[in-house]
Amino acid sequence: MKKRLGNQEPTKKVVLPYKKSDYKKAVDFYEKSGRKAQKWQKILLKDILAYGKDNLWTHTKCGYSLPRRNGKNEIIVMRELYGLFMGEEINHTAHRVSTSHSAWERLCRILDESGVDYRSLKAKGQERVEIPETGGRVEFRTRSSTGGLGEGFDLLVIDEAQEYTDDQETALKYVVSSSKNPQTIMCGTPPTPISSGMVFVNFRKKVLSGDSKNFYWAEWSVDENTNPHDVEAWYQTNPSLGTIFTERIVEDEIGTDDLDFNIQRLGLWISYNQKSAISLTDWDRLKIDELPNLIGGLYVGIKYGQDGNNVALSIAVKTDEGKIFIESLDCQSVRNGDRWILDFLKSADIEKVVVDGASGQNILASEMKDLKLKEPILPTVKEVIKANAMWERAIFEESILHNDQESLKQVVTNCEKRNIGSSGGFGYKSQFDDMDISLMDSCLLAHWVCKENKKKIKQKIYY
């Protein structure tokens, strides 16, 4: 029975017309090591090494994306081997030192297996490979916002491109400008919700929309969130399934996080890929195991969601160490009414209440008045902006405490900023459609009113 192999053709590809390509040379250099290039690798390499009548590369900027463990870095090795033998100067960059070092080790190993005479510098973070006979060299570097400035290369490689940031691109994109025949290659996997880079995302969007001139793009991906047990989707999006890894390995990768499987194994591109404005590390620093000593009454934040579907209630209270403890009590559908909110406000020792959200704040304020409860604060836009800024500052100053509520953590660590007003103010929005940011908004409102409320000092009059 013939062994089944993954789809060898990209599911999406934008390629410019060409008649000539030097890919066979690159494959020959690579296969002298005893390795065998796969069909899909030859397809990509043929497009990347295409050139025109002027002997210039058809594609000056190339990008490609595959799910993990398919051998995407072998394309880079073949391209760099070709460059070494053709006398090119190459800058190979990666997000991590370990990745950059592994790329250097991989290239050296293939050269050793091919019996090539070369020189190598093994200095972690500053590795180099060169062939004296041709003058070709590859410099391996970890990316930074200043790396590459003042240096010149013919080929720029961006490994782990999903982490390639705008400031890094600003520092690196000019390193090939002095070359007579420059080329840049970006390779990576689809970004996850915590990936920090946007260059790869924007490059893909630009090429697929047809808004580019000399660019190339290829990917293996699903168009939407897919059942992890869909074997056909495995083969459609993993060209090396059946060669480098097996169905059994993929089965073992399936866990409880369907989205992560879709991104990492099925190549799904998600629309929310910027790193959260508040990281898990930042949030975890604030969690406590035991309730601190609390001082005074509760400060309540109530937020009606922008879509008018939900309302969230959270509390904040001062501690004897000068910090503020926060906790989310609930987030319910507005269809449930306000009774649960009013019952809580009647029973608790409340200092102040702040209510935000045009869809329900005035109705709740009227209901509170009817029950002779304390009049709530209905914040202005300026006050909401201040509350958001104070929340951010307090997190980084570590003046907030929380008890590690899972629902709140999910929202806080998967959010990004949004503009409010016209003076540089900001608020937050969720990166996930199924996570309501009003849960965090109610917390930051409670924190704001708690922080702003100063203890009144009784005036003493002396005669």
**40-78, pLDDT tens digit by residue?**
999 999 999 999 999 999 999 999 999 999 999 999 999
Contact 65, 191 (CB under 8 A): no
pLDDT tens per residue, range 256-284: 888 889 999 999 997 544 567 888 888 99
Give which of 362, 372, 348, 337 is closest to 446, Cα–Cα. Answer: 348
Contacts of residue 330, defined as CB under 8 A and 6 or more positions apart, other chains included, come to 312, 313, 340
> CA 184, CA 239: separation in Å to the nearest integer?
23
Query: Once rounded to an integer, what is the mean pLDDT over residues 161-178?
Result: 89
Q: Enter the tokens of residue 234.
A: 């495995």
Q: Which of 404, 352, 356 is nearest to 374 (CA)?
A: 352
What's the confidence (pLDDT) of residue 425? 82
Q: Which residues are within 8 A (CB) of 200 and not within 5 positions of it... i.e. 6 or more apart? A: 63, 65, 158, 161, 162, 164, 186, 188, 191
Instruction: Tell me how far apart the alpha carbons of residues 179 and 200 are, in angstroms, rounded to a whole number.
Output: 23
Q: How confident is the model at residue 145 (pLDDT cuts 50, 70, 90)?
A: low
3-state SS, residue 404: coil
Structure confidence at residue 455 as a pLDDT band (50, 70, 90): low
Report d(CA 431, CA 105) in Å as an integer.
38
Whole-angstrom distance, CA of residue 65 vs CA of residue 78: 17
Confidence tier at 312 by pLDDT (50, 70, 90): very high
Q: Tens of pLDDT along 228-251? A: 999 999 999 999 999 999 999 999
For the chain, give the percent of residues with pLDDT over 70. Answer: 94
Spatial separation of the C-alpha atoms in residues 81 and 112, rounded to whole Å: 12
Which of 79-93, 129-143, 179-193, 447-461 shows the lowest per-residue confidence on average (mean pLDDT)?
447-461
- pLDDT greater than 50 at residue 104: yes
Average pLDDT over the chain reads 91
CB-CB neighbours of 237 under 10 Å = 25
Give yes or no for a contact between 12 and 205, defined as CB atoms under 8 angstroms apart.
no
Angle between helices 23-31 and 72-85 (to 10 degrees): 100
Q: How confident is the model at residue 457 (pLDDT cuts 50, 70, 90)?
A: very low
Query: What pLDDT does 276 receive?
Result: 73
Q: Which residue has the higher pLDDT, 432 or 169?
A: 169
Domains of the chain, with CATH numbers?
Answer: 12-264 (3.40.50.300), 280-452 (3.30.420.240)
With tokens 């934008």, the residue in question is 14
pLDDT at 247 (0 to 100): 95
Asked whether the predicted pLDDT for residue 462 surpasses 70, the reply is no
Decide: 300 and 218 in contact? Cβ < 8 Å. Answer: no
pLDDT tier for residue 137 given thresholds of 50, 70 and 90: very high
Tens digit of each residue's pLDDT (9 = 90 or more) over 333-391: 999 999 999 999 999 999 999 999 988 999 999 999 999 999 999 999 999 999 999 99
The span from the CA of 90 to the CA of 179, in Å, is 11
Per DSSP, the residues of 133-179 read TTTEEEEEEE--SSTTTT---SEEEESSGGG--HHHHHHHTTTTTT-
Angle (CA) 374-375-378 rounded to 5° is 140
At 189, is the pLDDT very low, low, confident or very high (cuts 50, 70, 90)?
very high
pLDDT at 386: 93
Q: DSSP character for 335?
A: G
Indicate yes or no: pTM above 0.75: no
